[in-house]
Amino acid sequence: MPNDSLTAEQTRDLRALAGSIIPPSATYGVPGADDEKIFNDILNSLERDRDDICRALAQLATLAGGAFADLEPARRTEVAAMFRETGAAPLAALVRVVLLCYYRDDRVMRSLGQEPRPPFPKGHVVEQGDWSLLESVRKRPRLYRAVE
Amino acid sequence: MHDKVDVLIIGSGASGAAVAWSLADTRMRILCLEQGDWVKPTDYPSNGRDWEARLFSDFAINPNRRARPTDYPINDANSPIKVVNFNGVGGSTIMYTAHFPRLHPSDFKVRTLDGVADDWPVDYTTLEPFFAENDRMMGVSGLAGDPAYPPKQPPMPPLPLGKSGTRFGKAMNQLGWHWWPSDTTIATTDYEGRARCINLGHCTPGCAQGAKASTDITYWPHAIRAGVELRTMCRVREITVDEHGMASGVIYYDAEGNEQFQPAEVVILACNGVGTPRLMLNSVSAKFPNGIANSSGLVGKNLMFHPYALSYGYVDEPLDGNHGPPLCLWSQEFYETDQERDFVRGYTFQFGRGVGAIMEAIISSNAGRLPWGEDHHKVYRKLLNHRIGLAAICEDLPEEHNRVTLDPVLKDSSGIPAPKLDYTIGTNSAKMMAHGIARAKEVLVAAGASNICVESPILNGGWHLLGTARMGTDPDRSVVNEWGRCHDVKNLFIVDGSIWVTSGGVNPTSTIQALALYIADSIKQRLANLFD
């Protein structure tokens, strides 16, 4: 996978963590965040968060006592839970990048009943709603204070 | 050196655009310097699949996060509320929600009515024709008949209530509390070359279809056609003074970084409540060793935000999500002072329609609601498009210790000292926020919401930058007079939110622009003896 800023070990750990945060689901028919296409998007979207993510991955490696990706599944879950409690701002940045790439994937959006498209140019339809609800408000005396 | 202009405006945002347009009919030579550039509608995030993600990169609302070359850094470490702005033609109207309430008549008389702060040297009645003129120029959608305001007539009908608004309306009626469709600057009909809103829903970081009124598409085309020159990518370093202590022009850096001097007969500052005091404090001379027009010592002091107390919950049916302009209703039920409460003044509730898929995921993850692992998918599906929320936008009283100064270390890319904020939420504001949160929870329960959460104050909620060069008739207690002219420098004017005496409890753009039009009109009325 193309990436000049993370080491191979960091990249493996990030992918493993992304899959721990959002695993694939057969129930909903969606990939996990470690899916190749989504993970490539993550790697290409680090930009302003790159330093924080590197800090988070260093912290993760410390908690794991080595490569997080090499842990057995049960231990990985334990370490991920600890990391969520202690990761603070660097972890928040990492999770944000995972989420903002995951929740724009076509397969994921379709599974949520969302059209995989930008808002422009099609826009959306918003119903007018029930304007008769305002009748009781119209009858209220004025609320603003007189100043003269 | 450039040719001398009659009027030099610094900043092309809400107030700079309005004052430029109004003064254009004098046929004076008018120049506006803007540190940012034009933003093309095709550049706005809602054109692309990464539309939500760009809220965290080049269209982040916080300039420190956005960090474009046209932005300047702000040291906001000593403030629980971070500044939100945009630098470009249109200024922060590029990146606002277009919620467009006016101040109320009582907001101009807070000392007289409530014994706090100071009265303004202008009043609602004086500004009323300028409010109306600005509504026409910006294109306001709304509904006449709101009992919370003196009569007014928005030129376009209101935004749709949608599912969220209808649910809120029912809840507010159940509680017997005021609510009303918001005045907004989002076109609901075709208006002055703008197409009616098609509900892109991602309004804050710029409107790709041009339904939202930012001044680059409202005032500026008219002003430029009338002969005003708008020079972009020009970052002003300081205002210079002559031997008489009058402003003589400005020194700025052009797009190539070259230092330039622009002489002017009149200088008008329109750089917002942080940018304007920063520029004034950077304008040091023998005549003004503490910053230009700062004999009162009040330049940069009395910074007011509107602390936002946000409450939200989740209902059992899907609502509108982000499929429409984010704000469509307000409530003024708790706006005016009530002696039964433990605070003076009040707040507006603004009701949110919903958020998009990524925002929901990030906010819920940060709040610990969204689990990692197998359950992630199940929980997320109960959250997406089920959110309903409202925020109390609280009046902040002026306190001198809340201030903008110059950072001794931090500089922008041109080497100009950056602003530093020192701000704490006052006791009155804190009580008001607590009241707003308690009432908001009642609203949410009445609307059928559960899993209620609070964010107070909203961290990146410093949209409204007010009070740092206040108006007044006493030169010892104010920076500008009752028509925006600096007491100390009779050819230097300020037209942005810096001049506000108090903050009210509403989004300020409508009133900022009405004040700018009023000041421009005052200048025009006094052209023969402007410097007397």
Q: For residue range B401-428, what is the model confidence (pLDDT) as tens digits?
A: 999 999 999 999 999 999 999 999 999 9
Q: Which of A51, A120, A125, A140 to mutate to test the interface with B (most CBs of B within 10 A)?
A: A120
A20: nearest CA partner in chain B: B373
For residue A141, is pLDDT > 70? yes
Mean pLDDT value across chain A: 95
Q: In B350-396, where does DSSP find H-type helix?
A: 357-366, 375-383
> Which of A109, A119, A136 faces B200 most closely, judged by CB atoms?
A119
Confirm whether B371 is domain-assigned. no
Mean pLDDT for B461-487 is: 98
Edge to edge, what strands does the sheet with B403-411 contain? B75-78, B417-422, B403-411
Please report the pLDDT score of residue A4 as a whole number: 58
In the predicted structure, residue A148 carries a pLDDT above the cut 90: no
- What counts of helices (H) and strands (E) characterise chain A? 7, 0
Judged against a pLDDT cut of 50, whether residue B144 lies above it is answered with yes
- Is the CB of A120 less than 8 angstroms away from the CB of B179? no
Whether residues A95 and B365 touch (CB distance < 8 A) is answered with yes
How distant, in Å, are the alpha carbons of A39, A110, B263, B322, B422 from that of B496? 46, 46, 22, 31, 20
For residue B138, being part of any structural domain is answered with yes
Rounded to whole angstroms, how far apart are CA atoms B328 and B223? 30
Query: Is residue B219 situated within a structural domain?
Result: yes
Question: Mean pLDDT score of chain B, rounded to an integer?
Answer: 97
For residue B373, the distance in angstroms to the closest alpha carbon of chain A comes to: 5
pLDDT in tens, B122-143: 999 999 999 999 999 999 999 9
Model confidence over B22-60: pLDDT tens digits?
999 999 999 999 999 999 999 999 999 999 999 999 999
In the numeric block, which tokens belong to residue A146? 């007189």
Name the packing angle between helices A88-102 and A36-43 (round to 10°).
130
Q: What are the chain B neighbours of A140 within 8 Å (beta carbons)? A: 147, 178
The total of structural domains in chain A comes to 1
What's the rounded mean pLDDT across residues B104-122? Answer: 98
Contact B262, B68 (CB under 8 A): no
Euclidean distance between CA atoms A54 and B471, whole angstroms: 49
pLDDT tens track for A108-130: 999 999 999 999 999 999 999 99
pLDDT of residue A1: 43
Beta strand B308-314 with B327-331 is: unpaired
User: Are B358 and A123 a contacting pair at CB < 8 A?
Assistant: no
Residue A107 lies in a domain: yes
A48 to B65: CB separation less than 8 angstroms, yes or no: yes
pLDDT-derived band at A5 (thresholds 50, 70, 90) equals confident
* Residue B377 located in a structural domain: no
DSSP calls for A52-100? HHHHHHHHHHHHHTS-GGGS-HHHHHHHHHHHHHH-HHHHHHHHHHHHH
Between chains, do B365 and A99 touch, taking CB under 8 Å as contact? Answer: yes
Please report residues of A whose CB lies closer than 8 A to that of B113: 145, 147
pLDDT digits (tens, 9 = 90+) for B156-195: 999 999 999 999 999 999 999 999 999 999 999 999 999 9
Q: Tell me the ipTM for this assembly.
A: 0.96
User: What does the pLDDT look like over B290-332, one tens digit per residue?
Assistant: 999 999 999 999 999 999 999 999 999 999 999 999 988 999 9
**Beta-carbon pairs below 8 A across chains A and B:** 178
Q: Determine contact, residues B489/B299, Cβ cutoff 8 Å.
A: no
b/e for A128-145, b at 16 or more Cβ within 10 A?
ebeeebbeebeeeeebbe
Q: Chain B contact for A47, CB < 8 A? A: yes
What's the pLDDT tens digit per position in A75-114?
Answer: 999 999 999 999 999 999 999 999 999 999 999 999 999 9
**A19-26: long-range contacts at Cβ-Cβ below 8 A with a sequence spacing of 24 or more?**
A20/A76, A20/A77, A20/A80, A20/B372, A20/B373, A21/A80, A21/A95, A21/A98, A21/B372, A21/B373, A21/B376, A22/A98, A22/A102, A22/B372, A22/B376, A22/B377, A23/B373, A23/B374, A23/B376, A25/B374, A25/B377
With respect to residue A126, please indicate whether it lies within any of the assigned structural domains: no
Nearest chain A residue (CA) to B318? A113
Specify the pLDDT at position B161.
96
pLDDT of residue A146: 86
Q: Flag whether residue A147 sits within 8 Å of chain B, measured between CB atoms.
A: yes
Domain that holds residue B70: 5-354+386-529
**Where are the alpha helices (H) located in B25-177, listed in sequence order?**
63-66, 110-114, 124-138, 162-175
pTM, two decimal places: 0.97
Contact status of B410 with chain A (Cβ, < 8 Å):
no
**Chain B residues 41-100 with a CB less than 8 Å from chain A:** 44, 46-53, 56-57, 65, 67
Give yes or no for A89 touching B (CB within 8 A): no
The whole domain housing A12 covers: 8-115
Distance of alpha carbon B314 from alpha carbon B53, whole angstroms: 23
User: Would you place residue A2 in the very low, low, confident or very high pLDDT band (cuts 50, 70, 90)?
Assistant: very low
Using a 10 angstrom Cβ sphere, with 0-12 exposed, 13-18 middle and 19 or more buried, the burial of residue B529 is: exposed
Judge whether B361 lies within some domain. Answer: no
Domain-located, residue B415: yes
Which residues of chain A have a CB within 8 Å of the CB of B188? none
Contact between B199 and A126 using a beta-carbon 8 Å cutoff: yes
* DSSP at B466: B
Q: Do A118 and B46 touch (CB under 8 A)?
A: yes
Interface subset of A 67-86, CB within 8 angstroms of B: 77, 80-81, 84
- Nearest CA to CA, how far is A8 from chain B (Å)? 24
User: What is the tens place of the pLDDT at every residue in B326-362?
Assistant: 988 999 999 999 999 999 999 999 999 999 999 999 9
Counting residues of chain B whose pLDDT is more than 70, the rounded percentage is 100
CB contact under 8 A, A130 and B202: no
Structure tokens at B325: 């302009």
Residue A132's pLDDT band, with cuts at 50, 70 and 90, is very high
**DSSP state string for B197-222:** P------TT--TTS-B--TTTTHHHH
CB B182 within 8 A of CB B100: yes
Q: Is the backbone of residue B34 left (phi > 0), alpha (psi -120 to 50) or beta?
A: beta
Most A CBs within 10 Å, among B149, B161, B355, B364, to test the A interface: B161
Q: How distant is the Cα of B353 from the closest Cα of chain A, in angstroms?
A: 10
Q: Is some CB atom of chain A closer than 8 A to the CB atom of B365? A: yes
Domain count, chain B: 1
Q: Test B357 with A103 for CB contact under 8 angstroms.
A: yes
Is the model's pLDDT at B289 over the cut of 50?
yes
CATH of the domain at B122: 3.50.50.60
| In a domain? residue B322 | yes
